[in-house]
Amino acid sequence: VRLYDYAASANCYKVRLLLAQLEIPYEKVSLDIFDGDTLTDAFGRMNPARTTPVLELGPDRHLTESNAILAYLAEGSDLLPEDRFDRAQVLRWLLFEQADVVPTMGGLRFRLVTGRLSAGDPDAERRRAGAEETLGVLDAHLSEREFLAADRYTVADIAVYAYTHVAHEAGVDASPYTAFAAWLARVEGRPRHMNDLEPYPPNASVKAGLSVYG
Ligand SMILES: N[C@@H](CCC(=O)N[C@@H](CS)C(=O)NCC(=O)O)C(=O)O
């Protein structure tokens, strides 16, 4: 498989992490999303939404949406349960991640670090409050179990880990959430865990480069 990737994207990092843990060989195509690499006609044919990651499975066979990619790659492994209820619980957290984690701490980290928002902006305050609420939900859930779903480490943990482990970069204090912090350590202790998430480069700053975000 071939992965169209952006090094500073945690949506891409979650796919790189799963590929490493499943020891799946792949070709990485590194894109600079702030230098127009996702704005070409060729990229638009692979993903009209012009976002990374994109997984190429063959000619004209492209998978977009990071969590769909996780589900595809993990099929048949311990990281995606076969049992119907357990699998639905994994889906629950994949959906929660996109609906509650990404727009709050993920979006806030990106906008603060790249100068699109400052800490006191109303939008930043709103996202921070949402981040704290989201960490509270995770903390309460994890105070009674080791992993998010199916009583074991799954792609749900990989997906939720990707943006939550850098909540501090969004100015969110995660220290009160002790069950969440213990879960982060358990995720980091899994075999073949790796972290190659890079900081945003200078051209990610507002008005410094090209992107769907402007
Ligand atoms: N829901 C999508 C979101 C993907 C997304 O927003 N990717 C960002 C990087 S995190 C991107 O490639 N943006 C392109 C741009 O800014 O031009 C997913 O999970 O794959």
* pLDDT tens-digit map of 13-60: 999 999 999 999 999 999 999 999 999 999 999 999 999 999 999 999
What pLDDT is stored for residue 206 in this prediction?
A: 79
Sheet of 54-58, strands arranged across: 27-30, 2-5, 54-58, 61-64
pLDDT over threshold 70, residue 210: no
Look at residue 62 and give its three-state secondary structure: strand
- Does this model's pTM top 0.75? My answer is yes
* pLDDT tens-digit map of 65-104: 999 999 999 999 999 999 999 999 999 999 999 999 999 9
Residue 72 to residue 182: CA distance in whole angstroms: 28
DSSP letter at 37 equals T
- Residues sharing a CB contact under 8 Å with residue 197, sequence separation 6 or more, in sequence order: 7, 8, 10, 13, 162, 166
* pLDDT tens-digit map of 158-204: 999 999 999 999 999 999 999 999 999 999 999 999 999 999 999 99
What pLDDT is stored for residue 213 in this prediction?
A: 65
Is the CB of 163 within 6 Å of ligand 1? no
Is the CB of 66 within 6 Å of ligand 1? yes
pLDDT over threshold 70, residue 214: no
Is the CB of 164 within 6 Å of ligand 1? no
What pLDDT is stored for residue 211 in this prediction?
A: 67
Residue closest via CA to ligand 1's atom 4 equals: 51
Output the six-digit token pair for 42.
């060729």
Length of the chain counted residue by residue: 214
Is the CB of 99 within 6 Å of ligand 1? no
- Say how many Å lie between the CA of residue 6 and the centre of ligand 1: 9
